[in-house]
Amino acid sequence: MANAAHPIESHPQKAQPKNLDRFPELYPDKDVMIRSRTGCSWVAARQRQIPNEDFHRGFYYPTNRCLLDLEQRISCVELGLYELESKEDREALCQLPFDPQVFLAQSRGLLDQSLSSSSNGQPSQAGANEPKAVMPDNNKQMRIREKENLIKTLDELLRRYFDLLNASQGVQTKPRVSREQHYAFYKRMKRNNILTESASQYLWHQDDFVTLNPNVIHQRFEGLLYTSRPYLWEIADVFRRGFCSFCRSFDLPTPPEPDRDEEETEYDYDAGTLDWLSRFLLAPTVAVFLLVPVTILFFGSLTKGAEFGVVLTSVALFVLTISCFERSTVKIIIGVCAFEAVLATFLAE
């Protein structure tokens, strides 16, 4: 029997470990991206390879529109049920809202079977051995059935409403995708003719996207990756040249040349390498904010006014920096208090 064709074409890769050489049918995500040249397969493969481009529509407007429609329907049924019960006397309201014998008969299927047999002109054998349900008068029976129908409709609408409400709450907790990130993805897709005009229509609402697998480092520095400000191009170029030198030193994937035009510049980086490099550089940078003022206060012979100026400047720079990277007010307050406590300790000495 001939071997089945492999769904993904093989491409040159680095040497695999010996225990993987026996399974040539295995392939990484990179091969999927190379194979998926255009269309929806290209979009899906790129979203898998680049974490911060794994974004999807939140559909906030359609969700809110459906919730509004359900709220209006539920309110209508609620008022109808209230109006129906307001017309009943006190004795009827204190009793069960249904006839227990009829309900039990319906639950066992005896009432439906009895009605079916009587319509065919045949006596029901099962009903002969069971106590017959006492049917209420027509007006009372009609009111009971009307109330039951309203409650069933209300139950169905409430289930749909709360399911959609909980799903909407889950979507709103996902990080929002910036316009710069969305625009870069859309521009690349249009430039390469990935999807037709009608197929890419779902991407038109640029403020309606959330990411399922956000890369925090990418989000913090995407101002350098996707910028429409010419004065930031040089900063981005310096950042890119340093990053390329680091990649070549450790034989890592090097980002291609930027796609620059008169409006924006665009960069592609390996997410894993960028994440590792940023974490490696972030720790010494943060340490400088504490070591520099501590060194000045500990070894310098300054006046009280100069020491206060050092503390004030250090705290201001620390607050400005942490505010750019952290949106949680509680974390900012805790970080600033800890930073001030350390400076106060050295200032006291």
- Please state the three-class secondary structure of 316-342 as a single string: HHHHHHHHHHCCCHHHHHHHHHHHHHH
Based on the structure, what is the number of domains in the chain? 3
Query: To the nearest whole percent, how much of the chain has pLDDT over 70?
Result: 62
Would 168 be classed as within a structural domain? yes
How many Cβ atoms sit within 10 Å of the Cβ of residue 282? 13
Higher pLDDT, 180 or 224: 180
Give backbone dihedrals phi and psi of 29, rounded to 5 degrees, phi first. Answer: -65, -30
Would 12 be classed as within a structural domain? no
User: What is the per-residue pLDDT for 30?
Assistant: 76
Q: What's the pLDDT tens digit per position in 42-92?
A: 888 888 777 667 888 999 999 999 999 999 999 999 999 888 878 777 766
Confidence band for 321, pLDDT divided at 50, 70 and 90: confident
Higher pLDDT, 230 or 175: 175
Strands 209-211 and 55-57: antiparallel
- Pair (262, 279) in one structural domain: no
Would 128 be classed as within a structural domain? yes
Tell me what the pLDDT averaged over the chain comes to. Answer: 73
Which stretch, 69-78, 227-236, 304-313, has highest mean pLDDT?
Answer: 69-78
Q: What's the pLDDT tens digit per position in 200-214?
A: 899 999 899 988 876
- Pair (153, 79) in one structural domain: yes
Would 304 be classed as within a structural domain? yes
- Pair (101, 118) in one structural domain: yes
User: What is the per-residue pLDDT for 155?
Assistant: 94
Query: Which residue in this structure is represented by tokens 């996207």?
Result: 209
| Gap between the Cα atoms of 163 and 169, Å rounded | 10
- Pair (245, 290) in one structural domain: no
CA-closest candidate to residue 150, choices 89, 68, 74: 74
Instruction: Read off the amino acid at residue 182.
Output: H
Would 343 be classed as within a structural domain? yes
CA-closest candidate to residue 14, choices 253, 210, 335, 329: 253
Would 220 be classed as within a structural domain? no
Contact present, 194 and 43 (Cβ < 8 Å): yes
Window from 9-23, 103-117, 248-262 with minimum mean pLDDT: 248-262
| Gap between the Cα atoms of 90 and 88, Å rounded | 7
- Pair (160, 68) in one structural domain: yes
User: What is the per-residue pLDDT for 65?
Assistant: 96
Domain containing 278 equals 272-348
CA-closest candidate to residue 188, choices 56, 55, 53, 58: 53
Confidence band for 218, pLDDT divided at 50, 70 and 90: low
- Please state the three-class secondary structure of 227-263 as a single string: ECCHHHHHHHHHHHHHHHHHHHHCCCCCCCCCCCCCC
Would 133 be classed as within a structural domain? yes
CA-closest candidate to residue 339, choices 318, 310, 308: 318
| Gap between the Cα atoms of 6 and 206, Å rounded | 38
Query: Which residue in this structure is represented by tokens 């993904």?
Result: 8
Model pTM score = 0.58
